[in-house]
Copies of this chain bind each other. A is one copy, B any other.
């Protein structure tokens, strides 16, 4: 999406790859074309912070940070329409930690913007970059709620405790601890508000330039949920030497929810 990309290109070659490597079969492409189906278990913790701290993180065209946001710890299963990834689940499963910040769009509407996200599988990393989710590799852990009455099961009832953590390059960045209240919860963060991201690619033939950006939001097809379960939560952010998310140091947890959701993404639109 750099202006240099308007220069002449390789003569057309009927490769079938959506992303590299570019082969005629397309079979090896890291990311297949959409639609992409995702289903997962999430712990969502909303937070407030000094809005001014987020200015370096959000392009003005995306909006003005309002001082609220959400971190989502997610344990996903994803597949393409034939579902074959579910038969070899190393291709389907990943965990990630997503940060979204609430913004006021230039037109006065509200949206979420994603300034940071970390995942543990390459497929999801590149699939995310294409959607404006600025993914890097990170290690997410997230307690699951199992349908059992047992001390290790964290069942969906008042008093069950859940934990979550994110580490980036061997350093903890986020830690959350939550206790289910037994009440219904809310669709926090990107689950309840349209979310936009920035896409851009540098061109190594002009290495002194920074990429120009396009703002996009996902085109979402099917969406199903199990209902959200409310929780009280604590959230700790530890600044990291190479992660700007540390600028939000001092954030304060607001409310939390946990549950399952299924989403299908068919592409993106301008935001």
A residues in contact (CB < 8 Å) with B: 1-6, 9-13, 15-28, 30-31, 33-34, 37-41, 55-57, 59-61, 76-79, 81, 83, 86-93, 115-116, 121-122, 125-126, 129-131, 134-137, 139, 141-144, 146-154, 161-165, 167, 169-172, 175, 177, 198-208, 210-216, 218, 222, 224-226, 241-245, 260-262, 264, 266-270
Complex Cα spacing A22 to B136, Å: 12
Residue pair B241, A143 in contact (C-beta under 8 Å): no
Residues of B within 8 A of A200 (CB): 20, 22
Complex-state Cα separation, A161 to B83, whole angstroms: 9
* Chain B residues with CB under 8 A of A28: 116, 242-245
Contact A90 B12 (CB under 8 A): no
In angstroms, Cα B22 to Cα A61, docked, is 13
In the bound complex, do residue A268 and residue B143 qualify as a contact, i.e. CB atoms below 8 Å apart?
Answer: no
Chain B's closest residue to A1 (CB) is B5
Most buried by B among A31, A81, A135: A135
Whether A152 and B212, one on each chain, are in contact in the complex, defined by CB atoms closer than 8 angstroms, is no
- Known A-B contacts A150-B39, A266-B207; A202 and B23 likewise in contact (beta carbons under 8 Å): no
Say whether, besides A130-B204, A131-B204, A170 and B21 are in contact (CB < 8 Å).
Answer: no
Beta-carbon nearest neighbor of A212 in chain B: B9
Known interface pairs A28-B245, A163-B88, A260-B146; A9-B125 also in contact (CB < 8 Å): no
Contact call B10/A61, Cβ cutoff below 8 A: yes
- Are the C-beta atoms of A204 and B34 separated by less than 8 Å? yes
Choice from B19, B164, B171 contacting A167 with Cβ under 8 Å: B171
Roughly how many angstroms separate A261 CA and B215 CA in the complex, as a whole number? 41
Contacts of A143 in B (CB 8 A): 77, 86-87, 89, 92-93
B205 touching A81 by the CB < 8 A rule?
no
Q: With A89-B164, A90-B169 in contact, is A22–B59 under 8 Å at CB?
A: yes
Q: Is A148 within 8 A of B225, CB to CB?
A: yes
**Residues of chain B contacted by A16 (CB below 8 angstroms):** 210
A220, B2: Cα distance in complex, Å:
23
Collect the chain B residues with CB atoms within 8 Å of residue A131's CB.
204
- For A5, give its contact among B5, B30, B61, B126 (CB under 8 Å): B5
> Which residues of chain B come closer than 8 Å to A212, judged between CB atoms?
9-10, 12
Within the complex, the shortest CB–CB distance from A219 to chain B, in Å, comes to 8
